[in-house]
Chains A and B, each alone.
Chain A
Amino acid sequence: MTDDDYGWRQGDRLVPAYAFTQGRTRTEGQELPLEALVTATELAVQNLPTLQVERGAIVRMSMRPTSVVEIGAALHVPAGVARVLVSDLASAGFLAVHLPQTTDGVGGPGQEILGRLLDGLRAR
């Protein structure tokens, strides 16, 4: 994967990272984990031409499952900025968010998921 897949290159940033988010680096409420996955909705695909360049890049990346941390790296912005951009797009109905499934919100995944992870790693 190259930066070009998202339609821009390193150094192409048009405005400072924090200007994308009106200076916010934190989202309201629960922060998205770095590994939270997002996928583009049909609404986003239909409205892609109208989206601001960074938001359009995120939607294009999210045509396949992509995490908050990958979006931050591809856009060359800190993880907190990626979180805000992703949260805004999700609020607008442009991204579906897939959160970790932990046993109690703090601990790790449950046994069923751990078992599948083990099977998947052993099969490699």
Chain B
Amino acid sequence: MDFAPVRGSRRPTPAAKRTLIPLKILVAGGFGVGKTTFVGSLSEIPPLSTEQEMTSLSVGVDDSAAVPDKTTTTVAMDFGRITVDDQLILYLFGAPGQNRFWFMWDELARGAVGAVVLVDMRRADDCFAAIDYFEDRRLPFAVAVNQFPGGPAYPEDAVREALALPPDCPLVRMDAREIRSSLDTLVILVEHALARSAHAGAH
């Protein structure tokens, strides 16, 4: 520690005494599918971006010893915040969808309420990796087909079949630019997570 000795009260401030509970929901999907738009439509703070280190594990070779000033590579990730009530604060993380970012997802998925998988049906393949990931980890997720203007409206059955969705997985058609539409999507995900949790508790 590099702090000088300090005097004073260790009593918490009023904010520190409050019971505060952070929550998180992941927003996954392929590049350009609308993750940033979705997070931005819901966030009470201007959408921000954080840099997350890519670990030596994920880049394959640890050459940090040879290059002491450049220990890690970083990748940007969007996030937003919703103050739910006086105790609960929900964070939304827009997670990059490519396989090489899985190392970030393991940390992000830990303790998460669930995930919204955003899909552009013109590039449906982009979301398969995310769907497989959440199924494997048994993280509750909802699939949200982001309707792009002028795009075709695919029938629900066709979408479910094309994406090989589990029967209980919620599927919504939405517009990530509209706060109401994005909020409804979150509500549907949380209803699903609660139902799963209640079901698990009953057995």
Contact = CB atoms under 8 A, between A and B. Distances in A.
Given A67-B89, A108-B140, A46 B9 contact: yes
Contact of B50 (A34, A109, A115): A34
- State the main secondary structure of chain A at its contact with B: mixed
Interface string B52-68: 11000000000000000
A39 B111 contact: no
Interface string A77-105: 11110000000100111001011111101
Counting chain A residues whose Cβ lies within 8 A of the other chain, the interface size class is 35 or more
A96 B10 CA distance: 10
Contact of A78 (B22, B74, B87): B74
Contact of A100 (B22, B49, B93): B22
B108 A111 contact: no
Contact of B197 (A23, A47, A114, A121): A114
Interface residues of B, number: 62
A118 B191 contact: yes
- State the main secondary structure of chain B at its contact with A: mixed
Contacts of B89: 35, 37, 65, 67
B21 interface: yes
Given A65-B15, A92-B6, A118-B190, A35 B24 contact: yes
A57 B113 CA distance: 30
Interface string B123-161: 000000000000000011000000000000000000000
Contacts of B114: 108
10 contacts: A41-B11, A43-B10, A99-B22, A101-B21, A103-B197, A113-B21, A116-B84, A117-B90, A121-B183, A121-B186
Given A34-B108, A41-B12, 14 more contacts: A33-B22, A42-B9, A42-B13, A69-B93, A74-B48, A78-B74, A92-B6, A103-B197, A116-B87, A117-B23, A117-B88, A120-B84, A121-B187, A122-B187
